[in-house]
Amino acid sequence: LSTEVEAVNMEEITGAQIIAEALKAQNVEYMFGIVGVPVIEVAMAVQGVGIKYVGMRNEQAACYAASAVGYLTGRPAVCLVVSGPGLIHALGGMANANMNCWPVVVIGGSSDQNQETMGAFQEFPQVEACRLYSKFSARPSSLEAIPSVIEKAVRSSIYGRPGACYVDVSGDMVTARVDRARVRAAPCCPPPPVSLAHPKAVTEAVAMLKTSKQPLVIVGKGAAYSRAEDEVQELVELCGLPFLPTPMGKGVLPDDHPQCVAAARSRALLQADVVVLLGARLNWILHFGLPPRFNPQVKVIQVDICAEELGNNVKPAVALLGDIRNVVSQLLGCFRKDAWRYQSDTMWWRSLKEKMNANERIENDALAAHSSVPMNYYTVFHHIAELLPHDCIIVSEGANTMDIGRTMLYNRLPRHRLDAGTFGTMGVGLGFAIAAALVESGRKTCQRVVCVEGDSAFGFSGMEVETMCRYKLPVIIIVVNNNGIYSGVDPHTWDELGKMGDLTTIAPPVTLLPEARYDQVMAAFGGQGFFVRTPQELRSALQLCLDDWERPSLLNVLIDPASDRKQQLCLSPYLS
């Protein structure tokens, strides 16, 4: 009789349901992926518990999207992939998330456990492979252990330096059943613990700043991730300090802030005697902090959440280990108690403003006003900048498109610029844009998402326009089309090359098909497509797109294939 009662009271639950409920318990809101054997049931189960599932067209783009949600919200999204090739496609997104320090959890289906080493369908050493690209990689030992492993993956992705984590689930575990009472539930992991710098180091940093002759604050995307915008703005304004944002540090303080010296970037880096590094790394983007781009005697006050980062390439004069927001609050406490302000009439400020004015005159007078057809980069960005809302999220990738756009398209709000990032990854744009549009759709003050792409960059993930159309995401994609990678050729030249013989032995490797109709790709799926040649067509089409909140749009903007960065100034955040 007791056995019969136990059987009646026993509630069986599948592995897929356990995964879904465990993710829900960890406050996961979004899952991106491509379903197939053995993970279809997982996607269905997460929808059943209220998690939003977004079906993508490529696992790389799915992982890029999931990681962008982690950066924008501070809580990881999940990328769901099938075994073998499906997971391998997602490795690029995991590596990109790890390099950018963005939280993401990847869940991969794998071969049935009883078929391991037998040559099973899509068998691959997935846990081992993911260890190279993640902070944590594991397979639950049983159905009962799934919640605790998922909790650790979510926690590891956001604690310390954020990054990617991987959970492997064999196919037989997805459909297997177990008594719910035997499953060990794991409570939601709390937000990352607050960490503060040592008070003595904070005092040393304040004293060093007060004695500096040519100070500079560099604001990195770590400051954006830590939600430090209010504290950083107060520090900069209270102390009268010039600041320079890294590419994704743009918007922590507005780009048009009077103390932003981005237009004099090279001079600011070269001549600063004290640099306050807020959540930025001295890697290739900042020329490793070394001569000839930095002063050999520069003193670096380095603020970072990761102890291992302190001292990379340049030994800091003062190392402040802790969360950016909290450490800046510590600095502010000292400056509020003992007020100090760097004067605006110093030679340093005059030198920076002189260089900024000279660079801006060259850009505006010599290039942005260029009105001939085909347009150049600067003409295109000049008109785009005049029409874009100040609060829009700008996604940008490409070579010249990203570098020039960074200087001409201003960001005025934090976490409103997503680009190729620390890893310099091409193909991230559409995944990032989808993620941003989904996050914005859930907010009361929904803001436009504008994705500015080079034509080569668009090709990496162009089929994701179908994803945008399917979910009715009103993303505006602007493809700046120069017919190639870095540069291309015009249709006449392409035809002449074709007459000379086999294009595989004649066509320059950087060339793409001239005047390719990317706009028709968007239109094929029900979005708006515009083929643009002139400034007037650009302005008209962009305004129509901005007025339409019902569907995505793509502007295929043709520019001179020979258009390039101006030679007078080096604007690249990576090369200048």
Say what the pLDDT of residue 409 is: 96
pLDDT above 60 for 8: no
Name the band, by pLDDT with cuts 50, 70 and 90, for residue 575: very low
The torsion defined by the Cα of 231, 26, 42 and 438, in degrees rounded to 10, comes to -30
- Contact by Cβ (8 Å): 74, 48: no
pLDDT above 90 for 121: no
Percent of the chain at pLDDT > 70 equals: 95
Say what the pLDDT of residue 569 is: 40
Query: Of the ranges 87-91, 252-256, 326-330, 372-376, which one carries the lowest mean pLDDT score?
Result: 372-376
Say what the pLDDT of residue 446 is: 84
pLDDT above 70 for 9: no
Say what the pLDDT of residue 442 is: 86
What tokens does 23 get? 């993710």
The residue that leads in pLDDT, 360 or 260, is: 260
Coil, strand, or helix at residue 109? Answer: strand
pLDDT tens digits for 389-415? 999 999 999 989 999 999 999 999 999
pLDDT tens digits for 337-355? 999 999 999 999 999 999 9
Cα 36 from Cα 39, distance rounded (Å):
6
Bridge partners of 487, per DSSP, are 485
Name the band, by pLDDT with cuts 50, 70 and 90, for residue 473: very high
pLDDT tens digits for 161-208? 999 999 999 999 999 999 999 999 999 999 999 999 999 999 999 999
Say what the pLDDT of residue 368 is: 52
pLDDT above 80 for 81: yes
* Residue 189 DSSP code: P
Say what the pLDDT of residue 365 is: 60
Mean pLDDT (the chain) is: 94
Say what the pLDDT of residue 360 is: 83
pLDDT above 50 for 571: no
pLDDT above 70 for 142: yes
Q: What is the DSSP string of 522-571?
A: HHHTTSEEEEE-SHHHHHHHHHHHHH--SS-EEEEEEB-TT----SSS--
Nearest Cα to 215, choosing from 269, 293, 150?
269
What tokens does 488 get? 């291309």
Cα 479 from Cα 457, distance rounded (Å):
9
Coil, strand, or helix at residue 412? Answer: coil
Bridge partners of 276, per DSSP, are 217, 301
* Predicted structure pTM score: 0.95
Q: How many helices (H) and strands (E) does the chain have?
A: 23, 21
Cis peptide before 103 (omega within 30 of 0): no
Query: Of the ranges 86-95, 120-129, 304-313, 389-398, which one carries the lowest mean pLDDT score?
Result: 120-129
- Contact by Cβ (8 Å): 301, 316: yes
Beta-strand relationship, 487-488 and 484-485: antiparallel
